[in-house]
C-alpha cells in the first residue's frame, strides 16, 4: 500500500469510530478497498500511456503510408493517347 493509501486508511479509521471489536474487520475491508483503488489507478494510468503510444504509432504509420502513396503516384504516371 502506498503512503497515500496508509494516510487515507488512518483517516477513515479515525472517522468511523465504533466498537473496537469491529475495527479489525473494518480495517481489513478498508485495506482491501484502498488496494483496489490503487490498482485501478495504476491500471488507468497504464492504459492512458498505452493509448497515447498507440496513437503515436498510428500517426507514424499513417505518415509512412502517405509517403509511399505519394511515391507510388510519382512513379506510376500513366499516359493515355487518343487515336
Mean predicted confidence (pLDDT) in 8-31: 71
User: Which residue is it, cell 500511456?
Assistant: 49
Contact predicate 70/33, CB 8 Å: no
Helix 3-16 × helix 20-75 angle, to 10°: 140
At 40-77, the pLDDT tens digits run: 887 888 888 888 989 899 999 999 998 888 888 877 76
Whole-prediction pTM: 0.47
- Rounded distance between C-alpha atoms, residue 28 and residue 33, angstroms: 9
Question: Domain residue spans in the chain?
Answer: 3-75
Q: How many CB atoms lie within 10 A of CB 34?
A: 19
Amino acid at each position: 500500500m502506498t503512503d497515500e493509501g496508509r494516510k487515507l486508511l488512518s483517516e477513515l479509521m479515525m472517522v468511523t469510530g465504533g466498537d473496537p471489536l469491529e475495527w479489525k474487520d473494518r480495517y481489513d475491508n478498508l485495506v482491501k478497498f484502498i488496494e483496489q483503488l490503487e490498482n485501478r489507478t495504476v491500471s488507468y494510468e497504464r492504459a492512458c500511456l498505452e493509448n497515447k503510444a498507440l496513437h503515436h504509432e498510428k500517426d507514424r504509420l499513417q505518415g509512412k503510408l502517405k509517403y509511399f502513396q505519394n511515391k507510388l503516384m510519382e512513379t506510376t504516371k500513366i499516359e493515355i493517347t487518343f487515336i
